[in-house]
């Protein structure tokens, strides 16, 4: 029912609160950017075997390059290719830095008092900045080996620029110095240059880079054995050489061993081992300018931030997955325990009997059924007729809360025995319920919404747990009446799985947070003790239930007391309903937060019930958009089959839990075919509702009632059809 008139039905949420959608969009875009950076750095590139890609085309490579020295300068339109002087070895290492092998190679170089040139991969440099700083401190030279070890000869122009500039920014951001030497991945000697690679190198030269190839390849990337690497490093004459070795990209134990021997032999044979820049007489590194340092630092910290974000998300996903699976196990375990505890008692249908709930004689005393109604003309007749048809003695009090559609007139015109109509000015649902409570003639009170109908045995089944004097309130089993169509099927699944399985768990754990407004029974004395129904929150049913728990009453769940209610038939109506529910629940959780530190029944509600709601209904939905963005990341950058397999496992768990819930509720399994589709529309709507509600609550905005549209689809039910 509505709790405000039509004018009050409009939300007073200011525009600055709605701005949180822009914040959410910006956050997701930033997250997407972080994931894109991570995916690019670690999954679109990567160090692999350094074999030169097969491409025989080399017609456009100048003769001076293909038959010249390994250091190529094509800046300014002229092309020169030079070699180190005789008996000079320019020692170079590719694919590092590596946390295991680079330090060992640096140790060998220090023992032999020689310097080398390290062509570093930008992503590895960011991951291991201390190694770059050690290289510079020990007098070594650093060159660019791209950002992700990409094949520049096959890459489009935009990626070439990104790879080279990214590699340079990484070096500047870590060392404060800019490099002028470049070695493209997957290159060896001059004669192996292809048209595509030369085109790339010629374009890069205009940015001030010298290309360094090799004239002596150790082929250590093939891990042929220490002896083979040593033979590959044996000079055939006095000519100067640029030697290619690797300090990263795999197991370099053979490289370390062969390097030690080769350096000793070079020294014995009178060769000078040095850096490329020193060998050809160029200043290969310079202090970076202020702008370069700012850009480099921003680049490095941006990558580190993206790494941190992805790592945090990964752990968050693990935690979310664990929570999801634990929740599935818990709810099914406790639901099974709850179901086993229910036994058939003479003349009462199924009623619960558990060790912690005393069951005496069947409860046969009459009950007062309160129906708060505001503009319920579409369904009020079906609701009242179904209650009057109860197999248990009842009085029915319909409280018309200022309706303008003739709701009270419809009820009075029915002329049904035992039905009283109270007319009052519009004051809201709590006000209407309290008016009904004051007029109640019996000690047992049943509250039912005006858009809900009962089965003939609903009231009788619902009140049986009152045989235990400790029970102060009882939740019934709410069923979706208009479950046709895919939206109706989704809500039907949610009611059976998300609501009723949880209520079984809450019952066994003695921490029931909500007796739904659609169907709930209360002791009149318990209601009076807590001051009736409060209007402090929009979820008056949750607020009332928590107040009863904190007052020491047991609140239980009666699965066979079924009530049929209308569910929203449009996404907009569903949004408004769930927005109010979620916002009101947050209000109630905050209002009763003190239960967390209390003992007894209040402590069980606080530490079990509120904790469960916080994790499952607030934190997980807030994290859900990140899960979706990460799933897209996985499909693009990771193994799509593995991502699909994980999704199927998650879906299988959902289906298993849903099938079990349907079996317990004796529902047909047919609607479960819509469950996979629920993950792509309904789930997103629900977590967006939570985000909206949380932001509204944090902003301190008072949300007014959003009245749900009525469709007049309710009918007085017959017996419940079993699956």
Catalytic residues: 94, 246
Rounded to the nearest angstrom, the gap between the alpha carbon of residue 478 and the centroid of all alpha carbons in its chain is 30
Q: Is 291 exposed, middle or buried (0-12, 13-18, 19+ CB in 10 A)?
A: exposed
The answer to whether the CB of 276 falls within 8 A of the CB of 71 is yes
Nearest to 427 by CA among 547, 584, 580, 540: 540
DSSP 454: E
Pick left, alpha or beta for residue 633 (phi over 0 → left; psi -120 to 50 → alpha; otherwise beta).
Answer: alpha
Pick left, alpha or beta for residue 603 (phi over 0 → left; psi -120 to 50 → alpha; otherwise beta).
Answer: alpha
SS (H, E, C) 139-179: CCEEEECCCCCCCCCCCCHHHHHHHHHHHHHHHHHHHCEEE
If DSSP codes are grouped into helix, strand and coil, which group holds residue 484?
Answer: coil
Q: Helix count (H) and strand count (E) of the chain?
A: 27, 22
CA dihedral 249, 255, 257, 261 (to 10 degrees): -160
If DSSP codes are grouped into helix, strand and coil, which group holds residue 235?
Answer: coil
What separation in angstroms does the CA of 41 have from each of 47, 148, 633?
A: 11, 6, 13
**Would you tell me the crossing angle of helices 682-698 and 20-39 to the nearest 10 degrees?**
120
Beta-bridge partner residues of 2: none
Q: How many residues does the chain have?
A: 723
If DSSP codes are grouped into helix, strand and coil, which group holds residue 478?
Answer: strand
Structure tokens at 663: 């079996």
Structure tokens at 520: 């709930």
If DSSP codes are grouped into helix, strand and coil, which group holds residue 51?
Answer: coil
**Would you tell me the crossing angle of helices 682-698 and 620-637 to the nearest 10 degrees?**
130
DSSP 271: P
DSSP 347: T
Instruction: List Cβ neighbours of 478 (8 Å cut-off, separation of 6 or more).
Output: 452, 495, 499, 500, 516, 518, 519, 562, 563, 565
CA distance 472 to 523: 5
CB atoms within 10 A of CB 78: 8
Q: Is 20 exposed, middle or buried (0-12, 13-18, 19+ CB in 10 A)?
A: middle
Instruction: List Cβ neighbours of 463 (8 Å cut-off, separation of 6 or more).
Output: 363, 367, 392, 444, 446, 474, 521
End-to-end CA distance of the chain: 32
CA distance 283 to 181: 10
Structure tokens at 208: 């001030």
Q: Nearest 5°: phi and psi at 455?
A: -85, 160
What's the Rg (C-alpha) of the chain? 37
Rounded to the nearest angstrom, the gap between the alpha carbon of residue 196 and the centroid of all alpha carbons in its chain is 42
DSSP 354: B
CB atoms within 10 A of CB 461: 24
CA distance 89 to 234: 11
Instruction: List Cβ neighbours of 107 (8 Å cut-off, separation of 6 or more).
Output: none
């Amino acid at each position: 029912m509505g709790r405000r008139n039509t004018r009050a039905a409009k939300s007073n949420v200011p525009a600055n609160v709605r701005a949180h959608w822009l914040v959410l969009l910006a956050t997701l875009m930033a997250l997407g950017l972080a994931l894109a950076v991570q995916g690019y750095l670690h999954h679109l590139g990567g160090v692999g075997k350094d074999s030169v890609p097969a491409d025989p085309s080399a017609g456009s490579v100048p003769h001076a390059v293909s038959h010249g020295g390994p250091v190529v300068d094509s800046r300014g339109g002229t092309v020169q290719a030079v070699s180190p002087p005789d008996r000079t070895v320019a020692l170079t290492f590719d694919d590092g830095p590596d946390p295991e092998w680079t330090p060992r190679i640096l140790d060998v170089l220090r023992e032999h008092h020689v310097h080398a040139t390290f062509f570093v991969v930008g992503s590895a440099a960011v991951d291991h900045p201390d190694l770059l700083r050690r290289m510079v401190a020990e007098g070594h030279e650093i060159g660019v080996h791209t950002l992700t070890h990409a094949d520049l000869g096959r890459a489009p122009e935009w990626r070439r620029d990104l790879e080279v500039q990214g590699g340079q920014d990484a070096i500047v951001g870590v060392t404060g110095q800019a490099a002028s030497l470049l070695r493209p991945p997957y290159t060896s000697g001059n004669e192996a240059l292809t048209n595509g690679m030369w085109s790339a190198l010629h374009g890069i030269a205009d940015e001030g880079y010298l290309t360094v190839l090799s004239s002596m390849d150790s082929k250590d990337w093939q891990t042929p054995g220490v002896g083979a690497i040593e033979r590959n490093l044996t000079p055939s004459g006095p000519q100067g050489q640029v030697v290619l070795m690797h300090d990263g990209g795999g197991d370099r134990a053979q490289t370390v061993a062969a390097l030690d021997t080769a350096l000793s032999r070079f020294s014995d044979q009178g060769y000078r081992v040095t850096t490329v820049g020193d060998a050809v007489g160029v200043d290969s590194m310079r202090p970076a300018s202020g702008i370069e340092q700012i850009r480099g630092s921003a680049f490095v910290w941006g990558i580190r931030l993206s790494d941190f974000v992805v790592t945090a998300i990964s752990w968050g996903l693990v935690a979310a997955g664990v929570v999801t699976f634990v929740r599935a196990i818990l709810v099914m375990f406790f639901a099974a325990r709850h179901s086993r505890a229910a036994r058939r008692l003479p003349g009462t249908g199924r009623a619960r009997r558990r060790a912690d709930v005393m069951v005496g004689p069947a409860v046969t005393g009459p009950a007062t059924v309160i129906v708060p109604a505001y503009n319920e003309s579409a369904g009020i007749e079906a609701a009242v007729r179904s209650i009057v048809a109860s197999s248990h003695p009842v009085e029915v009090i319909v409280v018309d809360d200022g309706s303008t559609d003739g709701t009270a007139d419809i009820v009075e015109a029915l002329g049904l025995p035992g039905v009283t109509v109270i007319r009052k000015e519009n004051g809201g649902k709590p006000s209407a319920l309290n008016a009904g409570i004051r007029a109640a003639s019996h000690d047992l009170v049943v509250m039912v919404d005006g858009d809900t109908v009962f089965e003939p045995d609903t009231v009788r089944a619902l009140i049986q747990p009152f045989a235990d004097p400790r029970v102060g309130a009882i939740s019934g089993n709410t069923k979706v009446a208009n479950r046709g169509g895919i939206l109706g099927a989704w809500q039907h699944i949610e009611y059976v799985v998300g609501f009723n399985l949880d209520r079984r768990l809450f019952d066994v754990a003695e921490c029931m947070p909500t007796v739904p407004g659609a169907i709930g029974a209360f002791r009149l004395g318990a209601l009076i003790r807590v001051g009736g129904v409060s209007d402090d929150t929009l979820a008056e049913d949750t607020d009332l239930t928590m107040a009863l728990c904190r007052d020491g009453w047991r609140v239980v769940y009666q699965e066979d007391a079924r009530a049929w209610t209308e569910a929203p038939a449009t996404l907009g109506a569903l949004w408004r309903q769930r927005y109010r529910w979620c916002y009101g629940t947050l209000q109630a959780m905050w209002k009763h937060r003190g239960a967390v530190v209390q003992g007894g029944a209040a402590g069980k509600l606080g530490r079990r019930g509120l904790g469960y709601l916080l994790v499952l209904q607030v934190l997980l939905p807030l994290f859900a958009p990140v899960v979706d963005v990460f799933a897209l990341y996985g499909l693009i950058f990771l193994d799509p089959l593995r991502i699909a397999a994980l999704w199927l496992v998650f879906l299988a768990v959902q289906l298993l839990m849903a099938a079990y819930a349907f079996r317990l509720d004796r529902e047909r399994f047919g609607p479960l075919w819509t469950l996979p589709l629920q993950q792509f529309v309904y789930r997103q709507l629900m977590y967006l509702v939570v985000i909206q509600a949380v932001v509204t609550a944090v902003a301190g905005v008072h949300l007014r009632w959003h009245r749900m549209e009525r469709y007049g689809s309710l009918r007085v039910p017959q017996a419940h059809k079993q699956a």
